[in-house]
Amino acid sequence: MTGPSFTPPSSPNSASAPRTLSATGLPAMASLNEESNLLFIWIQNLKQNVLLRNIGLVSLATVIGHICGFVSAIVTRTLLDPNLMGIWSGLRIFLSYGNYAGLGISKGAAREIAIEEGRGNTKHIQHVMNTAFTFNTLTSTCYMIVILIMAILIRSHISSNLSHYWVGGLTSIAIFVVLQRYVTFAITVLRARQRFDLTARLSVLEAILSLSVIGIGVWLFGFWGLLLSSGCVFIASVLYIHLYTPVRFVFTWDSDMGKRLLKSGFPILLNGALFSILQSLDRLMILVYFTDREYQLGCYSLALMVNGALFGIGNIVGVVMYPRYQHTYGATGNPCNISHMANRVMLYKGCLLLVLTCICVFIVRPLLETWFTAYRPGINPMMALLPGTVLLALTLPMNHFLVTIHRQKTLVGITLTGILLAISANLAVLTREGGITEVAWATSTTYGIFFLLTSWVYHKEVQRAASNASV
């Protein structure tokens, strides 16, 4: 990433030069001193900088999304009891795993699109997108069938006061998975082509609809309204992509390209899937080991709500920079350029996360203690997760660097180690009859160790790249 150009414009040096006005209405450059010249040019370059504009768009959309999401979460938890929120939190685990049903082909496609655009080779990009779309649709349909089978088994073999919520929820999630995969793939393509303006508008649309439609749905019909309104949001997202973006897909079968994209993307997907498992292990442990699992997970969802917002907002810059890594690497082939970008992202993220953590401790916590008395057992887990969430968010720029330079297998090993540590830590507290606060502390500690392992591997790869560059 190069900084703004500071090449001085050609202008007279005489202090008596006439004070003409530029197109912006500001004094002409000729009449300003050298410092003012440089400042003016720097500001103008900032306005025209595509990277900064993209970061601004994503930042604005992310902030709006998290504000609306936070308000929506407050409304939902106000209208639903912890048991139903626990079921919804469990259902969202299955929905999140649907992102990996494509076996990494969409990841491989995104990587190839970004790199080929960096090289200026746009000839076969549409074919790549069509092939990836075809495989993505088939695999998401298979995952939908698996979820429907789970719903049938629960209906046939489990009888409880809450089982019908699980059956109805899983049936809805099965449909949501197909819609979600289409939307997610379209967003992946748009980001790979650096069309962050379109993805930002979609994020804002989803945020506003989630706040309004889901809020009304839950208010009118409770848990079933939550499912119905969530489906409406997915449908609206699909319609937006068709009507307001240039993304168009055609079913195209190309087995050779599919195999190539699978080979490239599966290691990326594998790490992403393992990372998702690492993030959801605490919820899975609660579902498995607690007898009152719905209530405990419902209370724990309060901690997830706050820390999820912290993690998402902290990743604003990373969302924009990841395709930039791949674009730059495709153009230069130099890992050192990518490491410099990753270091800056970690610095900016660290500062932002520090501010957000202080807000959570001194502002958000007292408010939640006052508003959500039914969910109060989730306050201490929220505080326990905060340090781990910050460190986990800081690993992402390093992860993106390792993926860009083809160190996916190394990253998979690190994430697998983190999962094993998380399982061991959670089992250690659960076998001693620990509660959800102890689960949160075990999870947070695991995130910290995961950060240290990732940092060690990252710095080794940066040193290796620097040594190769100096030869």
**What are the residue boundaries of the structural domains of the chain, listed by start?**
49-470
Contact at 8 Å (CB) between 193 and 252? Answer: no
Query: 307, 365 in Cβ contact below 8 A?
Result: no
pLDDT given for residue 4 in this prediction: 38
Cα–Cα distance, 436 to 451 (Å, whole number) = 23
Given this model, what pLDDT does residue 6 score?
A: 35
Both tokens of residue 341? 């970008």
Nearest to 263 by CA among 39, 109, 392: 109
pLDDT at 184: 84
Contact yes or no for 113/193 (Cβ under 8 A): yes
> Taking the CA of residue 11 as centre, how many other CA atoms within 13 Å lie in the half-sphere pointing to its CB?
21
Q: How far apart are CA 250 and CA 270, in angstroms?
A: 26
Walking along the chain (471 residues) 10 residues at a time, the average pLDDT comes out as: 38 39 40 46 50 65 76 86 91 87 74 66 70 83 92 81 88 92 84 75 85 89 93 91 77 73 73 86 91 91 89 72 71 79 86 91 90 90 95 91 83 91 92 91 95 94 80 58
Over the stretch 399-444, which tens digit does the pLDDT of each residue have? 888 888 878 788 889 999 999 999 999 999 988 888 999 999 999 9
Looking at the chain, the number of H-run helices and the number of E-run strands are 16, 0
Question: Residue 72's pLDDT is what?
Answer: 85
Angle of helix 408-430 relative to helix 255-289, nearest 10 degrees?
A: 10
Alpha carbons 302 and 279: distance in angstroms, whole number: 15
Q: What is the pLDDT of residue 283?
A: 93
Q: Coil, helix or strand for 13?
A: coil
How far is CA 369 from each of CA 294, 308, 362, 387, 449, rounded to the nearest angstrom? 21, 18, 12, 20, 30
Say how many Å lie between the first and final Cα of the chain, rounded. Answer: 23
Long-range pairs for 292-297: beta carbons < 8 A, 24 or more residues apart? 293/86, 293/90, 294/82, 294/83, 294/84, 294/86, 294/87, 294/90, 294/162, 295/82, 295/83, 295/86, 296/86, 296/377, 296/435, 296/436, 297/85, 297/86, 297/89, 297/90
Can you give the pLDDT at residue 41? 46
Per-residue pLDDT, 56: 65
Of 173, 183, 174, nearest in space to 227 by CA: 173
Pair 218, 80: CB distance under 8 Å = yes
- Give DSSP secondary structure letters for 192-252: HTT-HHHHHHHHHHHHHHIIIIIHHHHHHHHHHHHHHHHHHHHHHHHHHHHHHS-------
- Look at residue 437 in the predicted model and tell me its pLDDT: 94
CA angle 420, 421, 423 (to 5 degrees): 65
Q: What is the pLDDT of residues 112-122, one digit of tens each?
A: 776 666 665 66
Q: Please give the structure tokens belonging to residue 441.
A: 């502390």
For the whole model, what pTM was predicted? 0.73
Task: Please give the pLDDT value at position 58.
Answer: 66
